[in-house]
Amino acid sequence: MINRKLILSKRPIGIPKEDTWNLVEEELPDLKEGEILIENHYVSLDPAMRGWMNETRSYIKPIAIGDVMRAGTIGKVVDVKGKTIFKKGDFLSGWGGVQTHLISRGEGHYPIHAKKNNLPIYIGSLGMPGMTAYFGILEVGRIKKGDVVLISGAAGAVGSLVGQIAKIKGCKVIGIVGGEKKADYIVNELGFDGAIDYKKENVVKDIKRECPDGIDVYFDNVGGKILDNALIFLRMNARVVICGAISQYNNVKVEGPNNYLSLLVNRATMKGMVVFDYAHKYKDAMKEISKWIDQGKIISKEDIYYGIENFYQTFLRLFSGEKLGKLVLKIKK
Amino acid sequence: MINRKLILSKRPIGIPKEDTWNLVEEELPDLKEGEILIENHYVSLDPAMRGWMNETRSYIKPIAIGDVMRAGTIGKVVDVKGKTIFKKGDFLSGWGGVQTHLISRGEGHYPIHAKKNNLPIYIGSLGMPGMTAYFGILEVGRIKKGDVVLISGAAGAVGSLVGQIAKIKGCKVIGIVGGEKKADYIVNELGFDGAIDYKKENVVKDIKRECPDGIDVYFDNVGGKILDNALIFLRMNARVVICGAISQYNNVKVEGPNNYLSLLVNRATMKGMVVFDYAHKYKDAMKEISKWIDQGKIISKEDIYYGIENFYQTFLRLFSGEKLGKLVLKIKK
């Protein structure tokens, strides 16, 4: 059995170049007692992956040079040996990495009970992005009915869910996006109350227009200037959820929020979150998000590209913004 | 009766120049029924005063051009007319402003039961700085025994109290100060566990030395580079209390913390505070701080200068750092 795997070959500085990774083939050994062979079908592409490539102290170990590129995956058990915790034919979600196959004892994987045509949702709205959105806006953002919620990266996997959950909870929801198509999408398809196109408009002026009384919760996926602009509009006791900073991940020097003293003036809170802290409650969140999807209250969108050999070009879409919803690489034909 | 008062004559840009204010004399009218005449003895000089001079949205109205410079004061009732809430001879703490006398109905003032030789403590450890330290470290910082607490502006009115309260609560306390004299003061007189002289040393290296396992609470009075350095050392679930930013108050453009993503990595919270929110609990705090002072657990130090005509030179000490403890201007000979 041949495994095609994407190896991290060097630490990138700035935007990763193509030679950051190497696609190599290896012959997998025979299964040992208790092992399963997983065939990966879908690879999750997430902004956080850029952070894992840096050799800096973070919430998770850096990917080592020479290791398979870490990624969330949906795979299928295609072979087993002896007594195993999963059986042949099972679909699994887990940390399979950017590779076509892996041998495992099942660690870091859990079974999904999915129809074949909705598999990618398990790395989207029912996967890490879904969990991040759910716990980020509910537990860190602590939204309540009537709150004005502003979201950056609002057409992305996390942002689009954050906004829809906030709408369900009775908030006024404004999204910041790049491009007219995304602005149209979040308002007309997802039901946001307003959109700000940062590529076209003056973000400060537009937040003022869309949120004339200020904001109670700012959910930040992008960092940089947009975070700084949003801080101007904090209301008393506002909450700022620091979920990500995609505008900064490829910068050698991160740009901090100069308007942070708005936290003082408005007795506001800025809090960072990492979704793994909520692992013990994922099941409940998945159940509730599933219910909302079934009820038509949440639209879950995946933007799917094909071929492990196209990892690099697809990965760059995270930073160029050329995608809509959850970015997925399908690596099984 | 002649009142000498300091009028805000223009909005300063950067460090205020002497012509930002005008010292003028006015003849006060006769008291009307219910009015009292207060003779101000002590004027509180606080970093926050610089912010009140800007015409920007903040937690308190800007001082209007032509108005008396806002300041906390300790004064004495020297005349009354008819039925008044305070009587002749009462000492009052309040918002008397930088002026020798004022006519009032008592609003914004409360009586202090002090001996004459400890009056300034009512604008220091038992006044705004005391309340700020108390609620800032206990309610926003939420310290508990064993926490590592790092404080900037640690020899100042607020910082020196924050550190002593944290020591009482069983924390390890490190202070950042400017100059050897202050470093010596906080360790050898106030009992801090360590000091970092930012004027002399490399702050990052020194925090690492003094707090090798990181910090649980960072209490920030200064902002700028020191805040940025401190963020590097946050532990999981750390709290950053944004109390002030004296390094930035005279800047036209505030410099934000580039290392703010440490909040994400460490699930940390950065929260702004304004002492006025705790007004309903000042009495309890004053009682407890008084007790600690009586027990010798808290040393309260005022640095007193003389003469309303010396307001400007004294005020600048807030920003040059040439003071130790609470900066006070005595305006009654």
The ipTM is: 0.91
pLDDT of residue A56: 84
What type of residue is A161?
L
pLDDT of residue A118: 85
Which structure tokens are listed for B46? 């606080």
Nearest CA to A245 among A222, A272, A220?
A222
* Distance in angstroms (rounded) separating the CA atoms of residues A328 and A310: 11
DSSP class of B67: S
- Across the interface, whether the CB atoms of A243 and B264 are under 8 A apart is answered yes
Every domain of chain A and the residues it spans: 2-124+300-330, 128-276
Fold of A2-124+300-330: Quinone Oxidoreductase; Chain A, domain 1 (3.90.180)
pLDDT of residue B39: 98
Give residue-wise pLDDT tens across range A191-222: 999 999 999 979 999 999 999 999 999 999 99
Can you spell out the DSSP letters for B172-236?
EEEEEESSHHHHHIIIIIT--SEEEETTTS-HHHHHHHH-TT-EEEEEESS-HHHHHHHHTTEEE
pLDDT of residue B201: 78
pLDDT of residue A24: 98
Give the pLDDT band (50/70/90) at residue A117: confident
pLDDT of residue A201: 78
DSSP β-ladder status, B215-220 and B234-242: parallel
Give residue-wise pLDDT tens across range B198-211: 999 799 999 999 99
* Distance in angstroms (rounded) separating the CA atoms of residues B21 and B12: 10
Half-sphere exposure of A291 (CA within 13 A, CB side): 8
State which residue of chain A sits closest to B276, comparing Cα positions.
Answer: A267
pLDDT of residue A86: 97
- Does residue A116 register a pLDDT over 80? no
Give the pLDDT band (50/70/90) at residue A114: confident
- Across the interface, whether the CB atoms of B265 and A272 are under 8 A apart is answered yes
Give residue-wise pLDDT tens across range B96-133: 999 999 999 999 899 998 776 789 999 999 999 999 99
Count chain A–chain B contacts defined by CB atoms under 8 A: 107
Compute the C-alpha angle A78/A79/A85, nearest 5°.
Answer: 100
pLDDT of residue A274: 95
The rounded mean pLDDT for chain B is 95
CB-closest option in B254, B265, B277 to A261: B254
Give residue-wise pLDDT tens across range B227-249: 999 999 999 999 999 999 999 98
* Distance in angstroms (rounded) separating the CA atoms of residues A147 and A174: 11
- A131-153 as b/e: b if 16+ CB within 10 A: bbbbbbbbebbebeeebbbbbbb
The rounded mean pLDDT for chain A is 95
What type of residue is A242?
I
Q: Identify the residue whose tokens are 């929801």.
A: A173
Q: How far is A223 from chain B, CA to nearest CA, in Å?
A: 9
Mean pLDDT of A158-184: 98
- Across the interface, whether the CB atoms of A260 and B242 are under 8 A apart is answered yes
Give the pLDDT band (50/70/90) at residue A59: confident
pLDDT of residue A66: 97
**DSSP reduced 3-state for B92:** strand
Mean pLDDT of A301-320: 96
* Distance in angstroms (rounded) separating the CA atoms of residues A141 and A187: 21
Q: Does domain B128-276 have CATH number 3.30.420.130?
A: no
Please report the sign of the dihedral spanned by the C-alpha atoms of residue B289, residue B295, residue B298, residue B299.
positive
Which structure tokens are listed for B109? 């003032």
Mean pLDDT of B305-312: 97
CATH architecture of B2-124+301-330: Alpha-Beta Complex (3.90)
Nearest CA to B302 among B155, B97, B148?
B155
H/E element, A217 = strand A215-220
Mean pLDDT of B168-174: 98
CB-closest option in B244, B245, B267 to A273: B267
